[in-house]
Chains A and B, each alone.
Chain A
Amino acid sequence: DAGVIQSPRHEVTEMGQEVTLRCKPISGHNSLFWYRQTMMRGLELLIYFNNNVPIDDSGMPEDRFSAKMPNASFSTLKIQPSEPRDSAVYFCASSSTGAGTGELFFGEGSRLTVL
């Protein structure tokens, strides 16, 4: 299996621009998670989906952030407009049991720099 696939791996953009991060979960996994990692705060959950339905988006910082999962094999995280404080590494993870103790598989992350 190819694992969780994220794109782009690196993104540099200017403040005010729209940023779209993409994620393909592991085939057969029914839960998908978006995390943000910074040196100061570590890993923070932004939103997670179970069977393509958003379950908890309380971690989404503000209305500038939105996430979609149109089907079981694809999800996007969009930031519009982007700000310098959004600079971080964004991870997507998937699991086969959202409510259980199943293993969480992370992608390699998308490093975002907003100038």
Chain B
Amino acid sequence: KNQVEQSPQSLIILEGKNCTLQCNYTVSPFSNLRWYKQDTGRGPVSLTIMTFSENTKSNGRYTATLDADTKQSSLHITASQLSDSASYICVVQPRRGSQGNLIFGKGTKLSVKP
């Protein structure tokens, strides 16, 4: 069964610190892997999209990595800010599928404290 598992479920860090969120998936073959940020009470917003042939992509202080061999991805946040407090959702699109077949993780809730 195609699944996307994220860890940890929640995380609290101090402002200015770095953190790494994990995503393990069983989807194979896959077309791309995405990370979304969802602020409380808002809709998800895309951070990065990596195809199966890419192994890293950055968006400002956010860097996503992908290891297709181990079926793992991570999202690294550098020098965290209070505004980084949000849920981060990992999403995988199977190779033989459209965007209607996206498989969502349940997210990691990050709290950044002053």
Contacts and interface: CB of A to CB of B under 8 A. Distances in A.
Interface of A: 4, 31, 33, 41-45, 48, 50, 55-56, 91, 93, 95, 97-109
Chain B interface extent, by class? 20 to 34
B43 to A, nearest CB: 3
Interface of B: 31-32, 34, 41-46, 49, 51, 89, 93, 98-100, 102, 104-107
A95 B44 CA distance: 14
B100 A101 contact: no
Contacts of B51: 101
A108 B89 contact: no
Nearest to A48: B100
17 contacts: A42-B104, A44-B104, A45-B100, A50-B98, A97-B99, A98-B98, A100-B98, A100-B99, A101-B32, A101-B49, A101-B51, A103-B46, A103-B49, A104-B46, A104-B102, A105-B46, A108-B43
